[in-house]
């Protein structure tokens, strides 16, 4: 076998991610690699790191819970390869059919979710710069516990010994195998079949590839990685720790970019979220998915915001729940507001406490201050929606109907709009009305029981009794 030379053109990289193991210590019905770390299945972090490093072809080795794992990863364009029996890490890599790969391969663990694109890029650069045939990524750990130990002779990599098979002396070594390898696909095809399972676990250890390749005079070396890439998730506590690390990393990056965080340790922002400099995030805020927060916007405590675009200088007040909405500049929403999907709040609009909206376009400078439900509605500009207004959008035919309210309309408190309804510009709706017919422009509509006065209704003696 010939080592590649720099003169050859760059060989493409493929990732093989090992994820067939059971994850017994998770004690959970969910396959381990689908457990969420900071809002997404931990596999998504590993796959995202590969993609970020420019690796297009990703082969995932699946075993336990394979149907569920396949259904999650196949939409990401990841190939799955079934390892029928978990016979060890070397057997797992074989299941990914390296003989059908052209170029180089990076092997990663599906349960090491802290790895990032830059880490993979760095390993690839080192591998290519030294013209290696095989590399293992190592890390120095204070407490190397169950990790495979890196054995060096005169400073050069010689072998990896599993903790279970190691002598007391070997266990003192603090340089460990992170479980990340880089190799040319040819090396994998040729030498994986030579690995035997004569060890304490009767498994085919991928780690044995190191000594086999060294015996065959190939260029093998260790690449130093940071501690983070060695962090694996094996139980619920480790899952929670990994989640915390990912949230902290994101918080740190946002603060470095000028986002104000009152208490970054209790603020939970997913990696996919964008926050502009000058925004203020209070404690216990959850920002998820495709959310974007504009500059000078303040998100008060306890808000949950998913897939929502919030403009500049917006106030999202405490305990507000937003899902798939758009909030334009200088609007204020909450406290205790709930805006459901496809709601758009115009610039300088105000949505107050205990207001729920769904599929509603709420115009510029309009106000709905208290206790209101607007669904399937279009509200113009400068509209005042009185306390307790309800759009009755759902009919007995189980269909949804629209309410359209023009510009400058004044809606008195405790009004119901029985949709479909259209209210013209500048109309006025009297308080307590149940509106069942369209209202023309500038008209007054009142639809409520007339007030009756019965004089002397309460007898004088009765009144005295009540007062005594």
Binding site for ligand UD1 (CB under 6 A): 18-21, 61, 63, 83, 86-89, 91-92, 109-111, 147-148, 160, 162, 176-179, 205-207, 232
Binding partner of residue 88 among Ca ion, ligand UD1, none, CB under 5 to 8 Å per kind? ligand UD1
Q: What is the nearest approach in angstroms of ligand UD1 to the Cβ of residue 11?
A: 24
Whether 302 and 318 have beta carbons less than 8 Å apart is answered as yes
Binding partner of residue 302 among Ca ion, ligand UD1, none, CB under 5 to 8 Å per kind? none
Indicate the burial class of 268 (C-beta count within 10 angstroms; 0-12, 13-18, 19 or more): buried
Q: What is the nearest approach in angstroms of ligand UD1 to the Cβ of residue 109?
A: 4
Q: Which two tokens stand for residue 179?
A: 């479980």
Whether 390 and 406 have beta carbons less than 8 Å apart is answered as no
Rg (CA), the chain: 32
Nearer to Ca ion among residue 68 and residue 447 (C-beta): 447
Strands 175-184 and 134-140: antiparallel
Nearer to ligand UD1 among residue 113 and residue 302 (C-beta): 113
The DSSP symbol for 326 reads: E
Nearer to ligand UD1 among residue 111 and residue 356 (C-beta): 111
Name the E strands within 69-206. 79-82, 104-109, 134-140, 149-153, 156-161, 175-184
Question: CA 162, CA 348: separation in Å to the nearest integer?
Answer: 63
- With CB atoms as reference, the residue minimizing the distance to ligand UD1 is 148
Q: What is the nearest approach in angstroms of Ca ion to the Cβ of residue 116?
A: 57
Binding partner of residue 89 among ligand UD1, Ca ion, none, CB under 5 to 8 Å per kind? ligand UD1
Residues that bind Ca ion (CB under 5 A): 414, 432
Question: CA 394, CA 379: separation in Å to the nearest integer?
Answer: 18
Catalytic pick from 112, 122, 370, 426?
Answer: 370
Q: What is the nearest approach in angstroms of ligand UD1 to the Cβ of residue 355?
A: 47
The DSSP symbol for 74 reads: G
Asked about 350 being catalytic, the answer comes back as no
Q: What is the nearest approach in angstroms of Ca ion to the Cβ of residue 255?
A: 50
Q: What are phi and psi of 256, to 5 degrees?
A: -60, -25
Nearer to Ca ion among residue 36 and residue 430 (C-beta): 430
Nearer to Ca ion among residue 308 and residue 416 (C-beta): 416
Question: CA 363, CA 360: separation in Å to the nearest integer?
Answer: 10
Binding partner of residue 177 among ligand UD1, Ca ion, none, CB under 5 to 8 Å per kind? ligand UD1
Question: CA 61, CA 409: separation in Å to the nearest integer?
Answer: 61
Binding partner of residue 83 among ligand UD1, Ca ion, none, CB under 5 to 8 Å per kind? ligand UD1
Active site residues: 370
């Amino acid at each position: 076998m010939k080592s590649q030379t720099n003169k050859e053109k760059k060989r493409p990289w493929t990732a093989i991610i090992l994820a067939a193991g059971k994850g017994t210590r998770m004690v959970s019905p969910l396959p381990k690699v689908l457990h969420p770390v900071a809002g997404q299945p931990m596999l998504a972090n590993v796959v995202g790191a590969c993609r970020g490093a420019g690796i297009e072809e990703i082969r995932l080795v699946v075993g336990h819970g394979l149907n569920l794992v396949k259904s999650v990863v196949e939409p990401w364009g990841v190939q799955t390869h079934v390892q029928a029996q978990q016979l060890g890490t070397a057997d797992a890599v074989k299941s990914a059919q390296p003989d059908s790969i052209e170029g180089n391969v990076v092997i990663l663990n599906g349960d090491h979710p802290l790895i990032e694109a830059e880490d993979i890029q760095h390993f690839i650069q080192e591998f290519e710069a030294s013209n290696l045939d095989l590399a293992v990524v190592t890390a120095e750990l204070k407490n190397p516990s169950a990790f495979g130990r890196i054995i060096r002779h005169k400073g050069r990599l010689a072998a990896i010994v599993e903790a279970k098979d190691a002598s007391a002396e070997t266990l003192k070594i603090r340089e460990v195998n992170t479980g990340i390898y880089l190799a040319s696909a040819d090396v994998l095809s040729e030498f994986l079949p030579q690995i035997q399972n004569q060890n304490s676990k009767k498994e085919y250890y991928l780690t044995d590839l190191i000594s086999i390749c060294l015996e065959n005079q190939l260029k093998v070396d260790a690449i130093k990685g940071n501690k983070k890439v060695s962090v694996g998730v094996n139980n619920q506590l480790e899952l929670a720790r990994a989640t915390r690390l990912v949230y902290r990393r994101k918080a740190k990056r946002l603060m470095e970019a000028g986002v104000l965080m009152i208490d970054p340790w209790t603020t939970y922002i997913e990696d996919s979220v964008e926050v502009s400099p000058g925004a203020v995030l209070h404690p216990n805020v959850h920002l998820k998915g495709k959310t974007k927060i504009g500059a000078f916007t303040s998100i008060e405590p306890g808000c949950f915001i998913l897939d929502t675009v919030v403009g500049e200088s917006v106030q999202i007040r405490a305990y507000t729940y937003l899902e798939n909405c758009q909030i334009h500049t200088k609007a204020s929403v909450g406290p205790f507001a709930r805006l459901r999907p496809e709601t758009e709040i115009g610039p300088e609009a105000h949505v107050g406490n205990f207001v729920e909206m769904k599929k509603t376009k709420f115009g510029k400078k309009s106000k709905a201050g208290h206790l209101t439900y607007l669904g399937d509605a279009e509200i113009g500009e400068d509209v005042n929606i009185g306390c307790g207004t309800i759009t009755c959008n759902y009919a007995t035919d189980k269909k949804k109907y629209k309410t359209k309210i023009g510009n400058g309309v004044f809606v008195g408190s405790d009004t119901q709009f029985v949709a479909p309804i259209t209210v013209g510009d500048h109309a006025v709706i009297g308080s307590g009305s149940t509106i069942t017919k369209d209202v023309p422009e500038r008209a007054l509509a009142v639809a409520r029981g007339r007030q009756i006065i019965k004089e002397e209704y309460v007898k004088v003696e009765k009144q005295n009794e009540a007062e005594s």
